[in-house]
Structure 1
Amino acid sequence: MLLRSLSALLVCLACSPLWADTLWLNNGDRLTGEIILLDGGKLALKTRYAGQVLIDWKDIDTLRSEKPLLIKRDGLDSQHSRSLAAAGKGMVRLENGTSETVPLASIRQMVPPRPFIEDRVWEGNLDVKLDLERNEDKTDEWKLKGDTRVEHGRWRHVLSGQFENETKNGERTEDNWELEYDLDRFLTKHWFVRGSYDQENDEFQFFERQRSYGVGPGYRFWDDELGRFDLIAQLSRFQLESDAGDLDFNAYSFEWDFKRLIWGTRFELYSKAQLQVPRIEEIDYVLDSEFGLRYRLNDWARLSLLYELDQVRGLGQSDSDRHYLIGVGVGW
């Protein structure tokens, strides 16, 4: 009996259409494919015959979709639709236990919901970047950066890290790694409290080992299928170790985390930055920031461009380190 049921299920899956979404345009044409995203007045449709195409939302007469979608309408919070049904010129019917017919013009955003693991949302990125210089000196630098986050209920876990290695004329000039873990507890839909632990090792710095602990409030402006934007403020305790001695001090920390999909889902803008203001006279501030653009080659592969700015100011002087990097990676 079990084998017969599994066989029937496999037959149903094999016979189900891969491209289940249909658009009817104002000029009478009909397109079939998979709805990827509606944003900025453009609908991204993945087709078998032309890849991903962008269609003006105002040119669509009606549409049909058999998969769940997250929909944002004028003046309303986001709502889930189990499926969409065609409903006449300029209209569509939302099916989610009950039926509701709405004008297409009232829909601003539409995107498949993020994948869930039980009640959890899991996402992340892993990028490899290579920087080669062939001037008077031969310099090879490569960097591995990654981050992942899991959110369930009122809790969010964020793990990020990087490894960097550089050789100049055959000799190592940089060798460092950093690992950070953040734990967020949401008090409301937007406000949360973050606790952080960060550890960094660098063989070519005076302070070879660095640890920090922090706690403070954060505010989430948005976090959905299109991106996120968080601001966090913390009071941190730093412990720096070297062969010549150790240094402990407190610091104020300010951080942002931004990501936004643009032009359908092909491009992703992202930026992360952390500003540390130590409570010691020798250092005014320490800035660690990055600004990047990812191009989605397919559902999992990414091509990324990254600008990094690290800056330290103290005793009336500033020291800046800038990097322009290109890399490839995976995302989920």
Structure 2
Amino acid sequence: MPAEVASVALNGEIFRLVDLRYEAPLQNNSIDANALSNATEKSTLQGRAEISLESLQNKTQTKHAELDLNLSWQRRAWRHTVDMNRRNDSEDGEKTEDSQKLEYSIDYFLTPEWFTRGNSFYQRDRVSGASSLHYNGVGFGRNLWKDENGSWEVLATYNKLAIGNAPFQFRLNTWLVSTDFKRKFDSENWEIYAKAGFLIPQKIPVDLIFQSEAGLRYQLNTNVYLNGRLMYDLYKYPGGSVKHQSYKLGIGTKW
């Protein structure tokens, strides 16, 4: 007598269990090797260009023009940043400043928070022939926090600094301690930002060089924004100091 075969009833039909087959469905979260490779290779490029103009009629006629350009490119753990600035000032038709600034930095992220940095900075005023400053350095930085609305970084680098032009040029070692902060408001139309850097030479003739900038940006549309900012610089020497403070209104674009 044949052995009884287990069966099951389904929708009025009888099925033998031995005839049933089970196939595992495809998992929606399965990893695509090509997608993972593309994500690893993904790079981001961000940029901003801004211009500010000013003409004042007081006891003297003062004119000001300034152009800023910022580019940032990141791929994997590497990040490249370039900052350029060109500025022209005149008073009663006589040029009082014709300066250029160029800064380049390369970062390598050891972790999402910690990174190493190599930096190079150059500044020159063609009106004042002796007003030249450049340095190169290496160091470490840290992301104190970062999200989709902003970030706050601090870093310290050790630099070789040169001030002035040959033959009246001073070369010395210095520490650079700097910070960079930016934050968008919930509406995403307003953004505040601030950055500052302290150059601390290890010996005279310069005690301290401090450069800072703080501002507020308002996004008119996807690409165009208005910007109001305050800039303050301090050069401190033995027996004296030189200060420079300015307020700027400008318009810019980002991508």
TM range (shorter): 0.7 to 0.9
2:176 paired residue number = 253
Secondary structure of the corresponding residue to residue 205 of structure 1: coil
For 1:310 and 1:117, how far apart are their aligned partners in 2? 41
- Structure 1 gaps of 5+ residues are 1-96, 99-115
Q: 1:264 aligns with which of 172, 183, 187?
A: 187
Relative to structure 1, the CA distance from residue 154 to residue 118 in structure 2 (aligned partners, 3 Å threshold; closer, same or farther) is: closer
Q: 1:212 aligns with which of 135, 152, 157?
A: 135
2:225 paired residue number = 302
TM-score (norm 1): 0.62
Tell which structure's C-alpha radius of gyration is larger. 2
Instruction: String of CA shifts for 1:104-124, please: whole Å, max 9, x gaps.
Output: xxxxxxxxxxxx996112222
1:170 paired residue number = 93
Secondary structure of the corresponding residue to residue 219 of structure 1: strand
Considering Cα pairs closer than 8 Å and 6+ residues apart, tell me whether 1 or 2 has the greater RCO. 2
Instruction: String of CA shifts for 1:183-221, please: whole Å, max 9, x gaps.
Output: 001111100000001122211335343321010000012
Relative to structure 1, the CA distance from residue 127 to residue 163 in structure 2 (aligned partners, 3 Å threshold; closer, same or farther) is: same
**Does the alignment pair 1:190 with 2:113?**
yes
**Does the alignment pair 1:291 with 2:240?**
no
For 2:233 and 2:130, how far apart are their aligned partners in 1? 17
Q: 2:43 aligns with which of 120, 140, 146?
A: 120
**Does the alignment pair 1:139 with 2:62?**
yes
TM-score (norm 2): 0.80
User: Residue 142 of structure 2 aligns to which amino acid in structure 1?
Assistant: Y
Relative to structure 1, the CA distance from residue 125 to residue 223 in structure 2 (aligned partners, 3 Å threshold; closer, same or farther) is: farther
User: Residue 110 of structure 2 aligns to which amino acid in structure 1?
Assistant: L
> Which runs of structure 1 show a deviation greater than 6 angstroms over 4 or more consecutive aligned residues?
none
2:19 paired residue number = none
- Structure 2 gaps of 5+ residues are 1-27, 30-38
Once structures 1 and 2 are overlaid, which stretch shifts more, 239-248 or 192-201? 239-248
Secondary structure of the corresponding residue to residue 299 of structure 1: coil
Secondary structure of the corresponding residue to residue 288 of structure 1: strand
1:200 paired residue number = 123
Shift of 1:283: 2.1
Instruction: String of CA shifts for 1:19-60, please: whole Å, max 9, x gaps.
Output: xxxxxxxxxxxxxxxxxxxxxxxxxxxxxxxxxxxxxxxxxx
Q: 1:229 aligns with which of 149, 152, 155?
A: 152
Shift of 1:172: 0.9
User: Residue 191 of structure 1 aligns to which amino acid in structure 2?
Assistant: W
Secondary structure of the corresponding residue to residue 221 of structure 2: coil
For 2:203 and 2:172, how far apart are their aligned partners in 1? 7
